[in-house]
Amino acid sequence: MSRDSKTPVYMIGVAAELCGLHPQTLRQYERQGLVEPSRVGAKNRLYSEEDIH
């Protein structure tokens, strides 16, 4: 999913902290199809405000 370059995005650790969740919980939500973070490279997930609220 492409994101507007002005939209703030967060690495998984920051996104998890903002949500009050463990990063592994966000990974599980992704596997279940509940969130679709964008990717930078093969490993780095970027979560938008829309993803975490």
**Nearest one of 35, 21, 6, 53 to 45, comparing CA atoms:** 35
Q: Domain extents for the chain?
A: 9-52
- Residue 11 banded pLDDT, cuts 50, 70, 90: very high
CA distance 47 to 15: 6
The residue with greater pLDDT, 17 or 7, is 17
pLDDT score of 6? 81
SS3 state at 37: coil
**Nearest one of 20, 21, 6, 13 to 47, comparing CA atoms:** 13
Residue 18 predicted with pLDDT over 90: yes
Q: Are 9 and 15 in contact (CB under 8 A)?
A: no
